[in-house]
Amino acid sequence: MVSMRFEVWAPRARRVWLWLEGARLPLREDAGGWWRTDAAAGPGSRYGFVLDDPQGPVLPDPRARRLPEGPEGPAAVTDPGAYPWRHPWAGRGLPGAVLYELHIGTFTAEGTFDAAAERLERLAELGITHVQLMPVNPFPGRHGWGYDGVAPWAVHEPYGGPEGLARLVDAAHGAGLGVVLDVVHNHLGPSGNRLPEFGPYFTDRHHTPWGSAVNLDGRGSDEVRAYFAGSALAFLRDFRLDGLRLDAVHELADDRALPFLAELSAAVDALALEVGRPLFLIAESDRNDPRTVAPRERNGLGLHAQWTDDFHHALHVALTGEAQGYYADFARAPMAALAKTLTGGFFHDGGYSAFRGRGHGRALERAATPAYRLVGYAQTHDQIGNRALGDRLTAQAGPARAALGAALVLCGPLTPMLFMGEEWGAGSPWQFFTDHQDPALAEAVRQGRRAEFAAHGWAAGDIPDPQDPATRDRSVLRHPAAEDHRELTRWHRRLIRIRRALLTPGQPLSAVAVRYDEDERWLTVCHGPLVVAVNFSPDRPATVAVPPNLLTLLAATHPVPPTAPEAGLRLPPESAAVLTPADGREVSGPW
């Protein structure tokens, strides 16, 4: 036992006590709403805080690093710096990255960090550079997506707690993999969120789909910003992460002159200099706002990249023909939509969106925006799990068409990302599942899910019950015993090898050239020394326009001549080819 400092920001409290292993000790009030005391404790000591009434309930520390009994139980003292790291790590930046999104709870049947760590070598062999973990902050129950976490500084105990996360990151580094963590700053809970009892963490001045917004711009917002930024920096520093994916930043209501995201990106850049390794932030944003990835010195937010759903939607329509909901805007001219997202990042760049019933977005400055700042994908947890049955792309379009999508994702100009199991065409669905402990909330989620899809013609009995343990079990990956012998896996591996061997990160979007034929349903994208040609037609061969004197590096589905003739490249139906100039020149300019 040693003397330790315990402190909590509770500006609304009249008095505060520290609950430490059953004892209640008064805290002294300091400036700015902080309460502090020193007490003897050691690793594993349980503690919490009591507000106003000395016999009141014990609340978990908002900055708890470990919550062994769940998000509403007492915290445990832990030393984030005590983990004995085995593998030195100089960091791995975003340029040149190949990301792999995975969910700890369903990546393996065990659903733990340690079980996931045993699978990392295969990802390294595939050519992945970074695993991107879905949220790992504590949430009520055992199984869930993680976006209802309530303790932004802690790690979900059923996954293995903070030591388990450290072991996973250490194992990843040993395999040469970086680690990116998905974090949620736009809401907490709703179940188990005790922050409002401590202070003005939320505000009714703004509202989000989850209720009151996080208070980023009202009274007390300095401390709220410091709370969320501090948790982000702590994960990057203490767990030696390489980056963070920021969930739904468009729901961060913020009217201050200095946006929270710009403040956070500056802090992350400063931490990168301090620790001597590259760090990055990837935003999920529905705004299509160029300021998201523009540098702070140009009045941007300074985030290092963002997901581009527009590319996904255009690619999905081209592969599946689906045209409902937000896909409708892309279905009018799928090849043109795909070409626009490959060369400009955004499809919605100020024009009218029929789905939204208004204009949407603004154009990126193509010459000033490196293509790697946009993350492109054919599948994500959202785009699979928010379907009624959680069906994957291979179930919707078949493995041959999934291979076409992989060619554009992995050898296209954007930073590629795969969703777990995509590389072998996993047959298991990935469905929406929860483990809410509050019966009323569980029923509300269940009925809300049924009502949402009933509006699209689904019968209530067809929608998987999120609370049924079988829904999670169906979503667990069934790793093949010999995936090296699967054709789709070999295709992904070879695409990644070509990308990593030939592409030099940093080219701007303006250096990407695309040609297409809407009626014939083919598209060719050229960037750097790579040409990717795709024939989406299910039944018609196509003569595809490509630059002259190319060598075929890789072809899918059918043989392709090794040299592209001057008249164009002949592609069979549902096929793709990756080519490069025989003389090694770049082909991204006009041709």
Q: Give the CA distances from residue 426 to residues 66, 378, 379, 491, in Å, rounded to whole numbers and listed in that order.
A: 34, 14, 12, 14
- 284 assigned to active site: yes
Domains and CATH numbers, the chain: 2-59 (2.60.40.10), 512-581 (2.60.40.1180)
CA proximity to 245, closest of 178, 194, 151, 167: 178
Report the pLDDT value the prediction gives residue 481, as an integer from 0 to 100: 79
Average pLDDT score over residue span 7-18: 97
C-alpha–C-alpha distance, residues 227 and 233, integer Å: 10
- Ligand-binding annotation for 385, yes or no, is yes
CA proximity to 239, closest of 271, 286, 197: 271
Report the pLDDT value the prediction gives residue 42, as an integer from 0 to 100: 94
Phi, psi of 317, rounded to the nearest 5 degrees: -65, -40
Q: What is the pLDDT of residues 105-120, one digit of tens each?
A: 999 999 999 999 999 9
Distance of CA 91 to the CA centre of its chain: 19
Q: What is the pLDDT of residues 171-221, one digit of tens each?
A: 999 999 999 999 999 999 888 899 999 999 999 999 999 999 999 999 999
Average pLDDT score over residue span 340-357: 97
Report the pLDDT value the prediction gives residue 582, as an integer from 0 to 100: 82
C-alpha–C-alpha distance, residues 428 and 426, integer Å: 6
Lowest mean pLDDT among 50-54, 207-211, 240-244, 516-520: 207-211
CA proximity to 297, closest of 266, 255, 334: 266
Q: Residue 307 pLDDT more than 90?
A: yes
- Ligand-binding annotation for 132, yes or no, is no
- Ligand-binding annotation for 254, yes or no, is no
C-alpha–C-alpha distance, residues 414 and 408, integer Å: 9
Q: Residue 351 pLDDT more than 60?
A: yes
- Ligand-binding annotation for 414, yes or no, is no
Average pLDDT score over residue span 538-564: 78
- 242 assigned to active site: no
- Ligand-binding annotation for 250, yes or no, is yes
565 — pLDDT class (breaks 50, 70, 90): low
- Ligand-binding annotation for 309, yes or no, is yes
- Ligand-binding annotation for 381, yes or no, is yes
- Ligand-binding annotation for 202, yes or no, is no
Report the pLDDT value the prediction gives residue 551, as an integer from 0 to 100: 87
E-only strand ranges, 200-293: 202-208, 211-214, 243-246, 280-283
Report the pLDDT value the prediction gives residue 564, as an integer from 0 to 100: 57
- Amino acid residing at 394: T
pLDDT: which is higher, 62 or 560: 62
Q: What is the pLDDT of residues 485-529, one digit of tens each?
A: 589 999 999 999 999 999 999 999 999 999 999 999 999 999 999
- Ligand-binding annotation for 246, yes or no, is yes
Sign of the torsion formed by the C-alpha atoms of 417, 125, 578 and 581: positive
- Count of residues making up the chain: 591
Report the pLDDT value the prediction gives residue 191, as an integer from 0 to 100: 87
C-alpha–C-alpha distance, residues 146 and 139, integer Å: 7
Report the pLDDT value the prediction gives residue 96, as an integer from 0 to 100: 97
| Catalytic choice (61, 101, 148, 247) | 247
C-alpha–C-alpha distance, residues 515 and 544, integer Å: 9
- Ligand-binding annotation for 313, yes or no, is yes
Average pLDDT score over residue span 339-358: 97
**Average pLDDT value over all residues in the chain:** 94
| Catalytic choice (7, 182, 238, 284) | 284
Burial of 438 (0-12, 13-18, 19+ CB in 10 A): middle
Q: Are 155 and 162 in contact (CB under 8 A)?
A: yes
- Ligand-binding annotation for 383, yes or no, is yes
Q: Are 384 and 419 in contact (CB under 8 A)?
A: yes
HSE-up of residue 22 (Cα within 13 Å, Cβ side): 0
% of the chain with per-residue pLDDT over 70: 96
The DSSP call for residue 555 is E
Place of tokens 């590389």: 423
Q: Residue 240 pLDDT more than 80?
A: yes
Average pLDDT score over residue span 403-419: 98
Q: What is the pLDDT of residues 152-163, one digit of tens each?
A: 999 999 999 999
CA proximity to 98, closest of 135, 127, 139: 127
At residue 279's C-alpha, the angle toward residues 273 and 284, to 5°, is 140
Report the pLDDT value the prediction gives residue 567, as an integer from 0 to 100: 67
pLDDT: which is higher, 545 or 315: 315
